[in-house]
Chains A and B, each alone.
Chain A
Amino acid sequence: MQAIRFTPETLSNEAMRFTSKISAGMETLKQVDDVHFGVTDKEEIYAEDKLVLYRYQGDKKPSAKVPTLIVYALVNRPYMVDLQEDRSLVRNLLAQGEDLYLIDWGYPDRADRFTSLDDYINGYIRRCVEVICKRHGLNKINILGICQGGAFSLCYASIYPETVQNLITMVTPVDFHTDDNMLSRWTRSMDVDAFINANGNVSADMMNFCYLTLKPYRLFHQKYVGLAEILDDQRELENFLRMEKWIFDSPDQAGEAFRQFVKDFYQGNKLVNGGLVIGDKAVDLARVSMPVLNIYAEQDHLVPPSASKPLEGLVGTKDYSVLAFRGGHIGIYVSGRAQREVPSAVHQWLAKRSS
């Protein structure tokens, strides 16, 4: 039996439909203004250099006694956690009564070329935690680290365990040397010293190019062919454009921090192998003694589950939980399933450990 069952006429008609979709979509596109994101009100609590610490303001007063600090990755903008009204991890957690803070790292420029992991972890994160503790009269708070921010949170929790009540890591790489980790394979052979010496900071374009070439045919081509299908749906189109903006609205990476991250995490795999030192402080995951919830995405091509799951065997806590989400690295924030499953799981886990 032949696999192809269409005729030249159906082919021609399909081409015509495709073109018609695009032509009809022109009108939709003309009606679309700049896309907006970050739907939840937030208050600026603390600022330092380009960093701003925000506290989200929900519709009701938080019922949680211990606030949670969201530590996002440096490589994208944190508004992914609050993208739009019906796709917001923040909004859903607030609705459950959580009290949320978020670090916005800003957009590093050449003046931040020498900002290091020591600055990020022992400086910025530590001071943000101090600010929140002081505001609430607490000695410790919850931390929710996302992706690279999860790796930072693990380092922070290992160095300052006395300040972390509960630790949640989402799509967080821990073992950088698993076989299916394409990014890791690519970065292991590169001379990152020469790369940073030559480039200073790492431009957003370079970062994006690297990510897109993980799945080049889908992300450079197929995605835009698929766009034709939703062109006549303004809401869907706006969702697409919002996501597109988030993907490419990327900060440059501070050179020194990038150098250290690639060397110690991607190349040295020191979270697993040991020997990681941030500034003058040693990181040992065995010191992560507070309750830990590790959430990973089963179809994550950026942080494969195999990179995240080994956390269980490395942390010192006896209270370790895991949530396997059916979706990808982005879907874990924005998919309908994520809205239903992730915030409630996080809230319930925290609620059991609120005392």
Chain B
Amino acid sequence: MGEDMAGSGKGFGADVDWQGMAEQYWKNFGELTEQAMAAMKMEPAAVPQWADGLEQWRRLFEGSMNSSDVQSGLDQLLDHGRGYLRFMQELAQNGGQFDPTDLRAAAERMVAEFRSANPLLQAFPGQDESGDLLRQLMGWWQQATAPGKEEARSWLRMPAFGMAREYQEQAQAYAAAQLDYREAMAGYNALIAQAVESGISGFQAKLDERGEQGRGIENLRGLYDLFVDALEEAYAEVALTEEFGRAYGKLVDSQSRLRLAGNQVVEQISRALGMPTRTEVDTLEQRVHQLRREAKNRSEHPALNELKSEVDQLRAELAALKASRGVGEHDDDDPPKPKTSKPRSSSARAGRKPVVATKPAAKAAATATSKKAAPKRATRSKSKPATRAAKPTKEG
């Protein structure tokens, strides 16, 4: 970094007793933690590092929080706090001079944090999943790729023979996918590195601008925020390019192929051991899903709703008939005496329209249309003629 960037603020000179200052910091920190530290018989680090204090605190408070959310938040806080303190300490140790190497290292530490959080990296069989076969495959792949990439690729394209040819092909496909993935990751990382470089230059430009405008930075937090601003702006600029989009797509695609190739290997073994495979479970899931949709669609089919309303109307008609004949009030052991009933209308006889009930019958009909159906015996005894009244009418 250039001289301007060094900031050479007041007080940063060769005569600064850095060691003494760090010890003083540690002494202060030690006072803060004295009692707890004594209880835990902890010793401060031999070479005082500002960030070490936070590690001591982590050990002190590990597992003591009331909830996992809080514990997780604490871990995040301490992790990032350490990075921040290291950033401060490096700056102080260099007498306030910005060494480009240190800045790059600070930026790369931040990049490493988000890279290491990448769930894609944890998604590969053989990387985190610890099947013996996969470890063997990985070892085999490492041997295969040792002489050089092109040679490895040609080796991976060699035809397979005999009983084990399917296994070999799958293993070759997996190893080839691994190579593709690493290439894609390298391409992606190169663009991230480009963004870091651009961010460092942007930081310098921002500092220059602040200096020229007389807007000085009074504390390290302000400086850190400016550094983050510069890194974010540079990252956004790169991340919005088509080149980055292509690199991102290539990375995701290569990860997909690697995972698929790994799945193939695992499935082959699973089948040999009589275990269900992911593909089989997917097939079952798909079939169940289709069945459920069909069932749902049928249950919502308009014709079914028409049928439902017809059934309701028929129940009403039946109840009306029963009420008019006094049927519904009796049980099997006490059959009702035949009553003189009103003749059915011609339309009902023709099976087209339900009967328009008389007043008492209408009341009974209303009861029957509720969820409680008419007594079974009565329903059975009248079902045949009633079901012929198929079409709902306004009267119904």
Contacts and interface: CB of A to CB of B under 8 A. Distances in A.
Interface of A: 1-12, 14-16, 18-20, 22-23, 25-26, 29-35, 110-111, 113-115, 119, 123, 179-180, 182, 185-186, 188-191, 194-195, 197-200, 203, 205-206, 209, 212-218, 220-222, 224-225, 227-228, 231, 240-241, 244-245
Nearest to A123: B296
5 contacts: A3-B216, A6-B96, A22-B77, A216-B110, A221-B83
B279 to A, nearest CB: 10
Contacts of A19: 29, 32, 50, 53-54, 81, 85
B106 to A, nearest CB: 10
B270 to A, nearest CB: 16
Given A205-B119, A225-B81, A190 B253 contact: yes
A231 B228 CA distance: 21
B249 A212 contact: no
Report the interface size class on chain B: 35 or more
A5 B296 CA distance: 70
What are the 6 A-B residue pairs with the smallest beta carbon separation, nearest first?
A189-B249, A4-B7, A7-B11, A224-B80, A205-B119, A5-B216
A68 to B, nearest CB: 24
A183 to B, nearest CB: 10
A201 to B, nearest CB: 11
SS of A interface (majority): helix
A220 B92 contact: no
Contacts of A227: 73, 76-77, 80
B45 interface: no
Contact of B119 (A14, A182, A209, A231): A209
Nearest to B93: A8
Given A191-B249, A224-B76, A32 B89 contact: no
Interface of B: 4, 7-12, 16, 18, 21, 24-25, 28-29, 32-33, 50, 53-54, 57, 60-61, 64-67, 69-70, 73-74, 76-81, 83-85, 88-89, 91-92, 95-96, 110-111, 113-114, 117-120, 123, 207-208, 210-212, 214-221, 223-225, 228, 231-232, 235-236, 239-240, 242, 244-246, 248-250, 252-253, 255-257, 259-260, 263, 278, 281-282, 285-286, 288-290, 293, 296
A12 B80 contact: no
Contacts of B260: 194, 197-198
A23 B33 contact: yes
Contact of A225 (B28, B33, B84): B84
A3 B7 contact: yes
SS of B interface (majority): helix
A190 B249 contact: yes
Nearest to B123: A199
B67 A33 contact: yes
A197 to B, nearest CB: 6
A225 B50 contact: no
A206 B289 contact: no
Given A7-B12, A216-B235, 14 more contacts: A2-B8, A3-B4, A3-B215, A6-B96, A18-B84, A19-B54, A22-B54, A34-B67, A186-B244, A203-B119, A209-B117, A216-B110, A220-B110, A220-B117
Contacts of A12: 21, 24-25, 92
Given A14-B221, A18-B81, A185-B240, A8 B256 contact: no
A11 B8 CA distance: 13
B24 A228 contact: no
A10 B7 CA distance: 15
Nearest to A197: B260
Contacts of B221: 14, 225
B114 A220 contact: yes
